[in-house]
Amino acid sequence: MPDIAGSVQASVRVEHSLDALNFFLADVRDGLGPYLAVYLLTIRHWNEAEIGLIMTMAGLAALVAQTPAGALIDATQAKRAVIVIAALVVTAGSLLLPFLSSFWPVAISQAAVGATGSVFAPAIAAITLGIVGHAHFARRTGRNEAFNHAGNAFAAAAAGAAAYLWGPVVVFFLMAAMALASLISVLMVPAHVINHEQARGFRDGTIPAGDQPTGMKILVTCRPLLIFAVCAALFHLANAAMLPLVGQKLALQDRNLGTSLMSACIVAAQVVMVPMAMLVAHKADRWGRKPLFLAGFLILPIRGVLYTFSDNPYWLVGVQLLDGIGAGLYGALFPLIVSDLMEGTGRFNVAQGAVATAQGIGASLSTTLAGILVVKAGYSAAFLVLAGVAGAGLVLFWTMMPETRTPETRIPVPDATAEQTALDTKALPSGTR
């Protein structure tokens, strides 16, 4: 007779391990992120255009690595080891930064961080799908994002307080501590509970006829995936530069408080992202993906316009709260939409990488575009242009993107049987059934 109590306990342990992984990896996934702009502006005294170029180069390195990273995660069964190695590389690259003073060493180190960090999102999504299956993916992805945002809020609050006392360089050491905790957390996820076929998008572990995933051409023949990729690019073209620009404005007003105020912006947004992620967890299957994604997209042009109203630090931090709504919904819905479209194909993670590549193009161009606009026309002009880009993306998603949770919008898979579909109703992780 099955040990049901033991299986439930194992399931709870796996859930808590995923919680810890997402919490502690939050500060490591994106490297220094917006703190890089504040550090280079206030400590190294670089101008906005140089800072934008550094961030663009890091973004381009991540861009080139996105699709190969997804393919790697699809192919390998050592998903936990990939996360461990990537976390060590990102942390080492960030800790080296205080010892680098010229343009090219900084650019190379941040490019390495950007490229390596590309594996985190598909690896976590794959491990999650491989454990819980498609039926529970929305719930668990929302919970992942909630803990990720809680971890970001904690790290940003700690960085703000520590930077106020000891200066901006302290954020590097905070990242090292979070990286160590994330390494312990990923090793707490039992390797045997990850169904690696399920993790790459097959229907709860079943493989289509011929024992082969769908051909790679699906990345360019799936029309909704292409539309979503363009929308993702426009979203990040508008969004990526906004927080660094706000950080620069805050730092120029008060150099000593620049990093602390940046932390306040991040904490404000991350706190709001937690309930947004939980909203996706509980309502995305019932309401659909499209209404929630549209709501997140709508916030972005509004936010860009509001930044131009005042330079008051309290106003800027207050407007940054809106980022929590937009980015919170986007982050939780992104893997769900790709999973919907790729279910049964075995190409879930490489498709994530392909869309993330488009997303990376937008993010990389965003910081360079914003830096040039600031130098030529000022901060308000930059924010208004970014708001216009967001508006264009909103219209495209609204008019062209279908609702992906319906079976009609999924890729047809040969020989998908009722027995395979019935696997979606099982609640326990695959390794504890």
CATH number, domain containing residue 159: 1.20.1250.20
pLDDT reported for residue 204: 55
Q: What residue type is 258 in one-letter code?
A: G
Say if 420 falls within a structural domain. Answer: no
Q: Which range marks the domain in which residue 139 is found?
A: 15-206+215-411
Q: Please tell me the distance from the alpha carbon of residue 349 to that of residue 342, in angstroms, as a whole number.
A: 9
Q: What totals of helices (H) and strands (E) does the chain contain, helices first? A: 18, 0
Return the biggest CA–CA distance within the chain: 73
Closest CA to 124 of 154, 188, 80, 185: 80
What pLDDT is recorded for position 263? 66
Report the pLDDT value the prediction gives residue 94, as an integer from 0 to 100.
76
Q: Is 417 within the bounds of a domain? A: no
pLDDT per residue of the chain (433 residues) written in tens, 0 to 9: 444 444 455 577 888 889 889 998 876 766 566 667 777 777 777 777 777 788 778 878 888 888 888 888 888 888 999 998 988 888 887 778 778 778 888 888 888 888 888 888 889 989 998 888 887 888 898 899 889 888 877 877 787 777 777 776 777 777 778 888 888 888 888 888 888 888 887 765 555 544 455 666 777 778 899 999 999 999 999 998 888 788 777 767 665 555 666 667 777 777 888 889 889 988 888 888 899 999 999 999 999 999 888 888 778 878 888 888 988 899 889 988 998 888 877 788 888 888 988 888 888 788 788 888 888 888 888 899 999 999 999 999 999 998 887 654 444 444 433 333 333 333 333 433 3
Assess if residue 171 is contained within a domain.
yes
Provide the domain count of the chain. Answer: 1
Amino acid at 310: S
Q: What is the pLDDT of residue 205?
A: 53
Contact 373, 385 (CB under 8 A): yes
Q: What is the pLDDT of residue 249?
A: 77
- Domain assignment present for residue 3? The answer is no
Distant-in-sequence contacts of 48-51, Cβ < 8 A, 24+ apart: 48/248, 48/371, 48/374, 48/375, 49/371, 49/372, 49/375, 50/103, 51/244, 51/248, 51/367, 51/371
Tokens representing 236 are 């990040």
Domain membership flag for residue 133: yes
User: What is the reported pLDDT for 297?
Assistant: 92
Is residue 313 situated within a structural domain? yes
| Residue 105 within any structural domain of the chain | yes
Q: Does residue 10 belong to any structural domain of this protein? A: no
Q: How far apart, in whole angstroms, are the C-alpha atoms of residue 171 and residue 167? A: 9
Looking at this protein, which amino acid is placed at residue 121? A
Q: Which amino acid is at 187?
A: L
List the structure tokens of 271.
Answer: 């706190």
As a 3-state breakdown, the chain gives helix, strand, coil percent values, each rounded to 5, of 80, 0, 20
Alpha-carbon distance values, 200 to 115, 319, 360 (Å) = 21, 38, 22
